[in-house]
Structure 1
Amino acid sequence: MLPFFDAVSLPVVSAVRNRRAGGKFLSREAFRRVAGATITCLLSSYFSAPAHAQVMDRDIGSAPSQLVSTPLLPNATTKTSVPPFSHPEVIVPNPLSAWLRARGVNFLVDNTNEFAGAITPPTRGSNPGFVNYRQGASNAGQYAMQLDIDWEKLAGWKGFATHMVTIGRYGTTANRMFGDWLNHASETYGGGGNVVVHLVYLYGEETLFGGRFVVAAGRMAEISDFAASPLFCNFQNGSFCGRPKGITDTNFAAGYPASTWGFRVRGRPARSVYIQTGLYPIEDGIYQVFQHRTGFKFNGANIIGYTAPVETAWEPVFGSGTLPGHYKIGAQVFSTPQNDNFLDLYDQPYALTHRKQKSRSASWSTWGMFDQRLLHYHDKDSGLTALWGVIYNDPHTSLRQYLAYGALLNRGVFRSRPYDTMGFAFTYTKISKGVSLTEQYLMDEGSTMPNHATGVQRDTMVMEANYAIHIMPGVIFTPLFEYYVHPNAQRNLRDAALLGFKSHIQLM
């Protein structure tokens, strides 16, 4: 079988070389034969390419969401040991990496790039906020380095490992070009501080009794531990990847690439059941450059409160081990006071009285997240998987009162392409009633509205369809389509459609 690019190029080159025969163009029938040969070679090469085990939800190293989503083996022992680190395929195998890994050092380097371009024009009109809207495209991405150290292999410390991730981000996102500030068209945009190296997390983790009890502490991203799934980033849009956006509705829940000091403990009373909780300081300005440009600011002077999440999950495996599922529910409480989104100090609409907003002494968030493989095909990780869930936030303090989502991932439906994945996802976001009423009052009197709104925010939906192609070892390329219904949750903004792609390259 010809390599992919040779299969594409040979018929085309042949056609070019023979385009003129005796000074005449090829006949229509001859051109059809050449075109048919080209398509045949393309399809033959595509469906006969060698299979490799790289898929998007396995390209995140030894991230917390990956480890959480792995129940104990049926014959698991109680021996204290470090769980195995991720070993993704790479473009070019590196003997040094293999040598280090054998000694407990796992070093990964990768790049994720995301492109999105609008194929629909933005809203036009006399509203001053529309002046800068335009139809355009954007590119955003990140390079990441991960260092996992198994101190059991390196120094004999049973069950202890450390994890560190740094990133650099670049580019911008297309959604703001048509007025949306709620959901990024490219998830890798933002949060990286616009620096060469930004620390995401650095923490130690002790695994005891064969994984039945785990304790971790250090600089941690709370939403990488809780309300997380390795399946979310099979998609590109920020309403879904790297977590449904409603869970970080406030600036008080640290999600990748932001982190705070934190402590987390997880226990497994049964093989397929876990319960975990933790305590994470709330740091003022966690997503803002003035505090966390590099991620290396450790003094804690900006701690203004604490959040205490709790989560439990059932992780059954049906179908003789081929149909895994994850069913989790959780909640978190924020101790930091937050402003009411509608009332003033005297329980009147602050948009009308122009008095100071009422302060709520605490707030909360809850979630239910579920996924289940419904069908199994040929390869071990192939099949049709459904994801669905809901996030419900404190309606008095939140912008997003609730977010509901659903998705399908269809992997390996073609026997010769076991790691290609077709995906479809949607998120529906409902804006809190207090926010909508406040914006209506402000708009009626011609005042500036919050949240970059140019109209009353009520609800929005974002959809994405994609096809992830395993090109070669270490490379995944994903063409995709995104569609925004009521961008920025505003019904005065025209729906937006985007075409784009996501690429992932594993270098080490």
Structure 2
Amino acid sequence: MALEVDLDWGKIFNIPDFTTTITVVQRHGRRLSTDALQDGVVNPQQIYGGGGNVILHLVYFYAQKKWLRGRIILTMGRYAPGPDFNSSPLQCLVMGQATCSQPRATTLTDGYSSWPGTAWSAVLRVRPTMPTYVTFGAYETSPLKGGTAGTDWGGKHITGVTLALGGGYEPAFGPHKLNGHYKAGMLWDSSPHAYNEVTSDAPTRWRHGQMISYVAFDQMLVRNGKYSDSGIIILGGYTHVTSGISVLSDQAYVGIEDVGQFAGRPRDALGLTWSALRYGPNVKSIWQPEQGTILLDPLAPNRPLLASRESIFDATYNFHLGNGIDIAPDFQYFWRPGGSGRVKNAAVLGMNAHVTL
């Protein structure tokens, strides 16, 4: 459950184009991935208790000011790179966490936070022309990302600063206004990061600075209706994170969505995505044959079993039952869950229910 309070200070105190937002959520549950798949990286569920497993978790607490009819937007407060960098709401039509609403390779890093994790932030978005934009961001880096209740803002947990630069092109082609979104960007985290070393007895090696770079797109091919996303849309993207100090170093995904295919059901939607992930070097597999034992790689007896690659297919159909009410059955298939190949491929069936009041 989520509760959001938006205040328009133009109407309250006559401060034009100035708003504040506070969002809290209830985050209670368990991770199906670690319970059943021995996969600590990609979870089949969008919401599972992450962010604290608590009754109340503070997400957003920020102010936003606009100039020139929204051509310039400044956002400051408890915010995150998630809404502005390497993200798209289209990626959350399917249920799995592999792409919703950012590729999983980004959200595993300390310098990138997304719902429900936040950090002290300042973000400036400028539109030189209506179809184009450039976004600059500066964020504190904190592995806690707000902590259990979202209110752990202590300075002792800040490890560095994350600087972000991104841009995009958002055309609408032809008389049917076939919407497209093309984007690229990078984020650099100044924090110290330990190398993924599991076989060396030498002292831990550290690197200052971690880079995330990405490209992504979505493009409507056929329009089905009047809504901005009503049509057949293809999408895809690629993310790279500095190898050697990352859990996931590379992720690529492709997908197709069909929204409003049936005239009588304009908000129904079909979504299909496939995502391929490559683990960073020397990332230890979480799979072990027995509690308290360490499985060694049969090809290298002096090191633990390592994770290497994993793929996920996700298919969903969203039934729009009424204003603010949606139910979406979902099917996912995991190849090499956990990345080691020692856990069998797995099929996951789920249901996503969404009610907005």
After TM superposition, is the score higher than 0.5?
A: yes
Q: Distance in 1 between matches of 2:99 and 2:183?
A: 17
1:231 aligns with 2:90: yes
Change (3 A) 1:173 1:304: closer
Question: Residue deviations 1:42-101, cap 9 Å, x none?
Answer: xxxxxxxxxxxxxxxxxxxxxxxxxxxxxxxxxxxxxxxxxxxxxxxxxxxxxxxxxxxx
1:490 aligns with 2:345: no
- Superposition pairs for residues 167-182 of structure 1, below 5 Å? 167-176=25-34, 177-182=36-41
Q: Which amino acid aligns with 1:315?
A: E
Q: Distance in 2 between matches of 1:504 and 1:298?
A: 30
> 2:227 is matched with which residue: 380, 403, 428?
380
- Superposition pairs for residues 31-180 of structure 1, below 5 Å? 143-176=1-34, 177-180=36-39
Q: Distance in 2 between matches of 1:274 and 1:321?
A: 23
Q: Distance in 2 between matches of 1:441 and 1:332?
A: 35
**CA displacement at 1:501 relative to structure 2:** 0.8
Aligned with 1:391: secondary structure? Answer: strand
Q: Match of 2:291?
A: none
1:414 aligns with 2:262: yes
Q: Which amino acid aligns with 2:322?
A: M
Q: Match of 2:160?
A: 305
Q: Match of 2:144?
A: 285
Question: Residue deviations 1:251-277, cap 9 Å, x none?
Answer: 332111011111111111111110011
Q: Distance in 1 between matches of 2:323 and 2:109?
A: 39
Q: Match of 1:86?
A: none
1:371 aligns with 2:218: yes
8 Å CA contact retained: 2:233, 2:256: yes
- Superposition pairs for residues 83-482 of structure 1, below 5 Å? 143-176=1-34, 177-286=36-145, 292-320=147-175, 322-342=177-197, 351=199, 353-381=200-228, 382-435=230-283, 443=297, 444-445=300-301, 449=304, 455-482=305-332
Aligned with 1:158: secondary structure? Answer: coil
**CA displacement at 1:315 relative to structure 2:** 0.6
Q: Distance in 2 between matches of 1:310 and 1:384?
A: 30
**CA displacement at 1:374 relative to structure 2:** 0.8
Q: Distance in 1 between matches of 2:53 and 2:30?
A: 11
Q: Distance in 2 between matches of 1:362 and 1:324?
A: 36
Change (3 A) 1:215 1:379: closer
Where in structure 1 are there 5+ consecutive unaligned residues? 1-142, 343-349, 450-454
Q: Distance in 2 between matches of 1:195 and 1:485?
A: 32
Q: Distance in 2 between matches of 1:404 and 1:489?
A: 15
Q: Distance in 2 between matches of 1:160 and 1:379?
A: 30
Change (3 A) 1:490 1:212: same
Q: Which amino acid aligns with 2:331?
A: F
Aligned residue pairs, count? 346
Aligned with 1:231: secondary structure? Answer: helix
Q: Distance in 1 between matches of 2:246 and 2:231?
A: 37
8 Å CA contact retained: 2:282, 2:306: no
Q: Which has the larger radius of gyration?
A: 1
Q: Match of 1:6?
A: none
**CA displacement at 1:410 relative to structure 2:** 0.3
8 Å CA contact retained: 1:436, 1:458: no
Q: Which amino acid aligns with 2:323?
A: P
Question: Residue deviations 1:357-389, cap 9 Å, x none?
Answer: 211121111011111111112343421011100
8 Å CA contact retained: 1:168, 1:192: no
Q: Distance in 2 between matches of 1:284 and 1:428?
A: 25
Q: Which amino acid aligns with 1:496?
A: A
Question: Residue deviations 1:178-225, cap 9 Å, x none?
Answer: 211111011111333122211001100100011111111101122222
Aligned with 1:222: secondary structure? Answer: coil
Higher mean C-alpha deviation, range 315-324 or range 396-405: 315-324
8 Å CA contact retained: 1:191, 1:258: no
**CA displacement at 1:250 relative to structure 2:** 1.7
Aligned with 1:224: secondary structure? Answer: coil
Which structure shows the higher strand fraction? 2
**CA displacement at 1:460 relative to structure 2:** 0.6
The alignment-based identity, stated in percent, is 28
Which structure shows the higher helix fraction? 1
Structure with greater contact order relative to length (CA < 8 Å, sep ≥ 6): 1
Q: Which amino acid aligns with 2:243?
A: P
8 Å CA contact retained: 2:159, 2:192: no
Q: Distance in 2 between matches of 1:503 and 1:485?
A: 26
Q: Distance in 2 between matches of 1:232 and 1:155?
A: 38
Q: Distance in 1 between matches of 2:251 and 2:205?
A: 25
8 Å CA contact retained: 2:37, 2:338: no
Q: Distance in 1 between matches of 2:176 and 2:223?
A: 10
Q: Which amino acid aligns with 1:400?
A: L
Aligned with 2:116: secondary structure? Answer: coil
Aligned with 2:69: secondary structure? Answer: helix
**CA displacement at 1:249 relative to structure 2:** 2.6
Question: Residue deviations 1:228-285, cap 9 Å, x none?
Answer: 1111211111111121101123233211101111111111111111001111011243
Aligned with 1:171: secondary structure? Answer: coil
**CA displacement at 1:446 relative to structure 2:** 6.0
Aligned-residue RMSD, C-alpha: 2.1
Aligned with 2:105: secondary structure? Answer: helix
Q: Which amino acid aligns with 2:33?
A: N
8 Å CA contact retained: 1:322, 1:380: no
Question: Residue deviations 1:425-447, cap 9 Å, x none?
Answer: 1110011234489x999634466
Q: Distance in 2 between matches of 1:159 and 1:475?
A: 31
Q: Which amino acid aligns with 1:280?
A: Y
